Structure 1
Amino acid sequence: MRKRLLAMVACLVVQGCAAEPTPAVGSEPPPVPASEPSPTPPDEDVPLSARWKLVPGLPDDHIWERGLYDVSAASPDRAWAAGYKGWEDGVEMTLRHWDGSRWRRLPAGHNGTFAAVDADGPANVWAVGGGAYDEPVALHWDGRSWRRHRSPIKARDVAVDGGRVVLISSSQVVQGYGGRFTRKLVANELRAVSAGAGHTWIAGTRRGQPMVWHGSARGFEQAEMPTVAGGGTLVAVWQNGPSDVWAVGQAGESPLVVRWDGAFWKRVALPPGWRGELTSVTASGPRDVWIASLRPVGTARHVVLLHWDGRTWTRERSPSPGELTRAVVERIPGTSELWLATSIVNGDSESIVFYRRR
């Protein structure tokens, strides 16, 4: 997932944010920047970072039959997380808000599951999902109250771009202004969306190959993607700007990272031997990109985070009280901090654990 255009001021903080030179039309794409070669340690030897701190959640987060699917931050003291609690016919949507000191439960009032949440400011938040009998649910926070809007699709992801919001299901894209939606694209195997500055980027799969669809004022078009031997899929996407977009997923048993530089989509080289199921991507700029992955450490899956500083990749582990089922990493605007929302195995279900990297 993910999500919005970074403010220009954030780019000024990061050294070297000048755009890369654009190749001449018809020229070969420049080589993909690769990490400096280095031996890859076993998973157990990936360092456990002390910068990740457990953040208390809601009082019942430790109870089974509850999980999170997404988290979105608008500032250090404003964030929202979406998911579910309950089992089978008793599943309820859950929504929570970080107020700068603790997580607080918000009244959701719907059966089903929130699949995604996105915010581009403290007064512009959308949460989407599906209620009972596949009933679409789309809620908007305007800084004063939550309002439900009629969505033509049961959305699996959402991206906010000022007064514009983009919702995707597995096969459709709709765009909304003021709660009125129009269909923009019909495709197969759509997984994640990011939007900002009038641009929309959707990641997924087409005919077994990783695919990105780009939307602008001229409409939507398929990107020209590098061919992946054996096929693959993209599951998350993040836009730093119209000329810097990252998408992550899998190519067979191997992790897959691709990047748009304003001229070409290119596969990004990862450290030799690196493995893991990539689940989300976030960034504070082109030289501060974070990717969350689930990797086996011993006999259970834990979170290993991959960081790109513009030149090299580094890895670190976050603490974990148990085996993880999901992990979503989210940058905190105006800081170098991150949220990590995880769901962990609890019996034959799961529970919720939050971390923050300071």
Structure 2
Amino acid sequence: SASDVWAVGDNGTILHYNGSTWSSVSSGTTQSLSSVWAFSPSDVWVGGGTILHYNGTTWSSVPSGTIRPVGRIWGSSASDVWAVAGDGSGGEILHYNGSVWSSISTGFVLFSAFFGPSGSDVWAVGYDGAILHYNGFTWSSVSSGTIQLLFGVWASSGADVWAVGGANGMILHYNGSTWSTVFSGATSPNFLTGIWGSSSSDVWAVGETGDTILHGTPAG
């Protein structure tokens, strides 16, 4: 909510906003933290050099089963949380089922982000244009039509999914059957790093240098 916001960063930094002020909260680690996802004030996850969980009172480290750095973390519910992990030796997709984390190897393909309209419709995007789709049972590879690094993904529905990345800025859109490039090159040399929206007609993308913000509506 607007009075319960979390931010994470280097050296185990965790900040909390209570609606009026930001304050530092002890994380119990000095490792860099790169992503945060919350389901409720007493169920917050953080990914980075380790996986942390907040139970409403304290932060604690949770065994993830991997020694690789953990990147983006996202979930559809408190018992369906996904995270990516990877380094020079390979990549993994991690899943939390409400009690333990498990790991799926992605070989030497590294993934950057997750998002989905539901727990049975989840997308992962990553290096060399890699896109995976989860149907609630298995992950399968889907052609993106690009070999550019994809760094962010967001969806309003199963037929309205967006991904961003590319060395000069690229936006891809999925219409329920195929992925297509709907924007490319106009932000050179700004790599697009994130995408989010409030609805299918209100979608925002941001770039890595901090001076690129794009706003648009679906192009089909």
Q: Same fold (TM over 0.5)?
A: yes
Question: SS of the counterpart of 1:165?
Answer: strand
1:222-245 Cα shifts (integer Å, max 9, x gaps) = 1146834x5422111113222211
1:149-180 Cα shifts (integer Å, max 9, x gaps) = 34363212222331122122221111122352
1:197 is the counterpart of 2:140: no
Alignment of 1:155-304 (within 5 A): 155-162=111-118, 163-171=120-128, 172-184=130-142, 185=144, 186-198=146-158, 199-205=160-166, 208-224=167-183, 227-228=186-187, 230-250=188-208, 255-262=211-218
Q: Name the CA distance, whole Å, in 2 between partners of 1:133 and 1:226.
A: 31
Off by >6 Å, runs of 4+ in structure 1: none
Closer, same or farther: CA 81–154 of 1 in aligned 2, 3 Å: same
Q: CA deviation at 1:120?
A: 2.6
Q: Name the CA distance, whole Å, in 2 between partners of 1:160 and 1:97.
A: 21
Q: Name the CA distance, whole Å, in 2 between partners of 1:68 and 1:160.
A: 23
Closer, same or farther: CA 68–254 of 1 in aligned 2, 3 Å: closer
User: Cα RMSD (Å) of the superposition?
Assistant: 2.6
Q: Percent identical across equivalent pairs?
A: 22
Q: Which has the larger radius of gyration?
A: 1
Q: CA deviation at 1:117?
A: 0.5
Q: CA deviation at 1:114?
A: 0.8
Q: Name the CA distance, whole Å, in 2 between partners of 1:239 and 1:254.
A: 18
Q: CA deviation at 1:116?
A: 1.2
Q: Which residue is 1:128 aligned to?
A: 84
Q: Name the CA distance, whole Å, in 2 between partners of 1:140 and 1:182.
A: 16
Alignment of 1:289-328 (within 5 A): none
- Segments of 5+ residues of structure 2 without an aligned counterpart are 2-18
Contact 2:150 2:163 in 1 (8 A): yes
- Segments of 5+ residues of structure 1 without an aligned counterpart are 1-9, 11-48, 85-93, 265-358
Q: Which residue is 2:98 aligned to?
A: 143
Q: Name the CA distance, whole Å, in 1 between partners of 2:162 and 2:219.
A: 15
Report the number of matched residues.
197
Q: Which residue is 1:54 aligned to?
A: 24
Q: Which residue is 1:109 aligned to?
A: 65
Contact 1:150 1:179 in 2 (8 A): no
Question: SS of the counterpart of 1:187?
Answer: coil
Question: SS of the counterpart of 1:53?
Answer: strand
Q: Name the CA distance, whole Å, in 2 between partners of 1:197 and 1:240.
A: 12
1:119 is the counterpart of 2:75: yes
1:40-70 Cα shifts (integer Å, max 9, x gaps) = xxxxxxxxx9611112212xx2x4xx21121
Closer, same or farther: CA 193–254 of 1 in aligned 2, 3 Å: closer
Contact 2:170 2:185 in 1 (8 A): no
Q: CA deviation at 1:261?
A: 3.3
Q: TM-score, normalised by structure 2?
A: 0.78
Structure with the larger RCO, 1 or 2 (CA within 8 Å, 6+ apart): 1
Contact 2:203 2:217 in 1 (8 A): yes
Q: Which residue is 1:70 aligned to?
A: 35
Q: TM-score, normalised by structure 1?
A: 0.50
Contact 2:64 2:102 in 1 (8 A): no
Contact 1:126 1:160 in 2 (8 A): no
